[in-house]
Amino acid sequence: MSAVLRIPTVLRPSMGGASVIAVEGSTVGEVLLTLTTTYPAIKGQLLNADGTLHRFLNVYVNDDDVRYLGGVEALIANDDEITLLPAVAGGAW
């Protein structure tokens, strides 16, 4: 599956500087694992050693937080939009 990935400011320096890239994968876990291979600098920033999501990383598929859709097992469909966002204290826009 081919999807669009939106990268937050904090991760851009480690991921070639782009804010949006195209990614491939059938699950969220697959996409994130591929990213850590392509961009070794972010290893440990996306996934924990056991393959679960980093505590301070929120991943959204089409604006839905994947933690409530099966976590790394959440499925990706063609043309989905995946957004990575750091978890921050409520209140900032």
Partner 1 sequence: MTRYASVLDLVGNTPVVDVSALSPKSNVTILAKLEGRNPAGSVKDRVALSLVEAAERDGRLIVGKPDQVLIEPSSGNTGIALALVCRLRGYHLKVVLPTNVSPERRQLLVAFGAEIIDSPGAEGSNGGVRLAQRLSAENPEWVFLYQYANPANPLVHYSTTGPEIWADVPEITHFVAGLGTSGTLMGVGRYLKERRADVQIWAVEPPSGEIVDGLRSLDDGYVPPIFTDNDGEHLLDRKVIVRARESIEWTRRLTEVGLFVGLSSGAAMAGAVKCAATIDDDSATIVTLIADDGWKYLSTGAWSDDVDDVVERAKSIIYF
In the bound state with partner 1, the residue whose beta carbon lies nearer, of 37 and 55, is 55
Residues that bind partner 1 (CB under 8 A): 8-11, 45, 54-58, 60, 63-65, 67-68, 83, 85-93
- Exposure on the CB side of residue 39, measured as CA atoms within 13 A: 20
CA 82 to CA 76: how far, in whole Å? 9
Q: Closest CB to partner 1 among 7 and 23?
A: 7
CB of 79 to partner 1, least distance (A): 18
Tell me how far, at minimum, the Cβ of 14 lies from partner 1, in Å.
9
Contacts of 65 (CB under 8 A, 6+ apart): 58, 59
